[in-house]
Amino acid sequence: MKEILLQKIFPMGSRRRRFVEIFYESFRITYREGISRFLYLAMNRLRSSKLFNRSSRLDLSEKFYPLSFPAFDNATVSIIVPVYNQAVYTFNCLRSVLEKTSDVNYEMVLIDNASGKETVEMLSAVSNIKIIRNKVNKGFVAACNQGAEEARGKFLLFLNNDTQVETGWLSALLDIFEKDKAAGAAGAKLIYPNGVLQEAGGIIWGDKTAWNYGKFDDPDKPEYSYVREVDYCSGACLMVRKSIFENAGGFDARYAPAYCEDADLCFAVRQAGHKVIFQPKSRVIHFEGITSGGKVYSGLKKYQVINFEKFTDKWSRAISQQQFMENDGRAFLARDRKQGKRILIIDHHVPTHDKDAGSFWMYSFAKGLSSMGHRVIFWPDNLHAEQPYTEDLQQAGIEVIYGFRRFDKYLNDVGRFIDIVVLTRQHIAIKYIDMVKKHLKHAKVIYRMPDLEYLREQRRARLEGRKDMLKTSEEIFQRELYLFNKSDVIIAISNEEKEILLKELPGKRIEIIPHPINKITPVSTPFENRKDLLFVGSMHPPNEDAVLYFANDIMPILDKRLPGVKLYAVGSNPSKRLQDLRDKSISVTGFVKDLYPYFDKCRAYIAPLRYGAGVKGKIIEAMSFGLPIVTTPTGAEGLKLTNGDNILVADSTEDFADAVAHLYNDRELWEKLSRNSLKYVEEYFSQEVFLNLIQEIINTV
């Protein structure tokens, strides 16, 4: 009944219909969770759908004026635009390319298929564009092949003249090829002028039918917003390596004048051992049917049916190997050609990988799985698409779930396809573990410990003399034990924590994957040109305590022994207590995007941690820069470090101050620690070591 009423009042794909649908799905939960929750979800969903910033507000100018394209000596991309009349659409297509493309060297190659006077006059006012004029209309296929023969770029970009591109469209496509050497072709997200989706990659089903995946849906949904390998992409906006296009013989002439030549080329690209990839960041508005009409069985559109039969006949064997049939409920599987395991990761939010070590671990883990060919879905507990971090994952081929979603419904919809679920952080994992075990009885569960949280809180309670915290730490321990027992594999980050767990859980499978480093970046400034001290870490309680302890207890001693020395405390979310420390000798910076300048100018790194658990990512990070470190036994916990060889470890306040002063004044010691730190990190914490550990665990789960 709802669908009948909606269709009568609001046409499919209209903005008003989508507005009503969003509020309707949110309203269903009102009676269970209250009006405040309803309003929150409704507004969150509206924001994520971007209904108030739709591309339907296009400026379709009917006034022509001269266009002058940039002239590049070496064009990376040749943009090939076949044209047959439709001067208004062609002009606006060219105008959008000119206005929205500023970050790629390109050339425009336009093939005029015997257009009329209006188009010819409009094009005569366009400069720095190569125009090939045909005396008769040769059709789309022949025109594209003509343009390719004249192209100078390493990449060919076939673009319909009834399109308008959005900012960053071309560089996003080019980025696919720069990141993945196996990429042979890449296509854009095509959007109708009213703002609804036309296509997010195409599916060819095993029963010889085809889908424009996502047609008429919200283009900003998670499933349409991540990079993935697909069966084909539409020739309305399709980039291909020129060498591959030439080796394939161009667009197959059997599909003249048009239709199915794009799917055919994509299959040929894949047959040659390359990938066809959908790039959601490349957004293109497509006025579908402007040139060819809208009726499938008449005019040029009739070739859509005729040529699809030719296509399925030519590729009959390849299509028969497609795994899924239309309408068997497996679009979730068919939309992404990755053949690895399907892995659902649940964490508190999208990893803010440049802000804390735990987030960097999870970011590296998810990206590593994706790079190995596994299909990764990331579920942030807050369902917020925080940027730029969400896009970072999406561009790595990871689907990030956001907006209005119910976890139990999600599991009912696609849970049967999930092979592995990865949980982390006990306060988050405890919310999901029972639903996962109930709905995904076949799936294996991996619990990743950032550290033993109960141990960290227990140590804090004893340090601060808080009996209430001791009780809390026991509650955390019971939750952690519950999670450990429900999991098939536990990932720890140190042997010490593994041994503690095995005493409680003898025989449990516990694997170790330590913190990785992004890359080893040795600092270049010599010892004598350096000064000051550095601490880096997001300011959660153990780090805040460390900085306060250093400022109040250790810094007064160092002021006498190292007069004028300053501490830079770098990290996100500093509390008021930390901000109040700011004076001539202490700088509390807050979040800093690029840490290299700090590591390159400071003489020593300090980590005076008094409580915590697990391996400290900040120690590994500092070592990856080659900046010598002074820390406590807590800071060095879980690491195979040697005091005096690759780190300095001091326990008491006086000893810590002595160690800092000694390192600060001893060039020979400084250079030794710096050199050995880099060797240590390369041996134990490189990306290669990290990825090998992941692969070994996933392959044996």
Of the pLDDT bands very low, low, confident and very high (cuts 50, 70, 90), residue 16 is low
> Which range (205-209, 522-526, 677-681) has the least confidence?
205-209
Contact 572, 591 (CB under 8 A): yes
CB atoms within 10 A of CB 155: 25
SS3 194: coil
Of the pLDDT bands very low, low, confident and very high (cuts 50, 70, 90), residue 24 is low
Query: What integer pLDDT is reported at residue 33 of this predicted model?
Result: 43
- Which residues, at least 6 apart from 403, have a Cβ–Cβ distance to it below 8 Å? 44, 45, 48, 49, 221, 222, 383, 385
Mean pLDDT, the chain, rounded, equals 88
Q: Hey, which of 32-36, 92-96, 467-471, 581-585 has the most confident mean pLDDT? A: 92-96
Looking at residues 191-218, what average pLDDT do you find? 93
Of the pLDDT bands very low, low, confident and very high (cuts 50, 70, 90), residue 444 is very high
Of the pLDDT bands very low, low, confident and very high (cuts 50, 70, 90), residue 436 is very high
Tokens coding 656: 């810590």
190: closest CA among 158, 148, 145?
158
DSSP annotation of 2 reads H
d(CA 51, CA 186): 27
As a dihedral over the C-alpha atoms of residue 412, residue 416, residue 417, residue 421, rounded to 10 degrees, the angle is: 80
Beta bridge partners, 228, equal 278
pLDDT tens digits for range 65-100: 999 999 999 999 999 999 999 999 999 999 999 999
Evaluate if pTM is beyond 0.85.
no
Is the pLDDT higher at 187 or at 45?
187
- Domains and their CATH numbers in the chain: 2-52 (no CATH), 71-325 (3.90.550.10), 342-512 (3.40.50.2000), 527-685 (3.40.50.2000)
DSSP 3-state helix, strand, coil percentages of the chain (rounded to 5)?
Answer: 45, 20, 35
Contact 394, 224 (CB under 8 A): no
177: closest CA among 161, 153, 200?
153
Of the pLDDT bands very low, low, confident and very high (cuts 50, 70, 90), residue 673 is very high
d(CA 437, CA 415): 11
- Which residues, at least 6 apart from 267, have a Cβ–Cβ distance to it below 8 Å? 231, 232, 315, 318
Looking at residues 543-550, what average pLDDT do you find? 92
Tokens coding 363: 């970011």
32, pLDDT greater than 50: no
SS3 63: coil
Instruction: Report the share of the chain in percent with pLDDT over 90.
Output: 66
Instruction: Report the share of the chain in percent with pLDDT over 70.
Output: 89
Query: What integer pLDDT is reported at residue 300 of this predicted model?
Result: 64
Looking at residues 572-592, what average pLDDT do you find? 85
Query: What integer pLDDT is reported at residue 550 of this predicted model?
Result: 93
420: closest CA among 432, 401, 436, 397?
436
Tell me whether residue 71 is exposed, middle or buried, using C-beta atoms within 10 angstroms of its C-beta: 0 to 12, 13 to 18, 19 or more.
exposed
639, pLDDT greater than 70: yes
237: closest CA among 334, 165, 298?
165
pLDDT tens digits for range 466-525: 878 788 888 888 888 999 999 999 999 888 888 888 988 999 999 999 888 888 889 899
Q: Which secondary-structure segment (H or E) carries 228?
A: strand 228-229
DSSP per-residue letters across 445-478:
EEEE-SS-HHHHHHHHHHHHT-HHHHHHHHHHHH
DSSP per-residue letters across 571-600:
-SS--HHHHTT-BTTEEEEE--S--HHHHH
- Between the alpha carbon of residue 424 and those of residues 42, 114, 268, 341, 697, the distances in Å are 28, 63, 42, 19, 16
183, pLDDT greater than 90: yes
CB atoms within 10 A of CB 166: 17
Q: Which secondary-structure segment (H or E) carries 83?
A: strand 77-83
d(CA 662, CA 656): 10
d(CA 399, CA 391): 10
Q: Hey, which of 271-285, 322-336, 450-464, 474-488 has the most confident mean pLDDT? A: 271-285
Contact 646, 499 (CB under 8 A): no
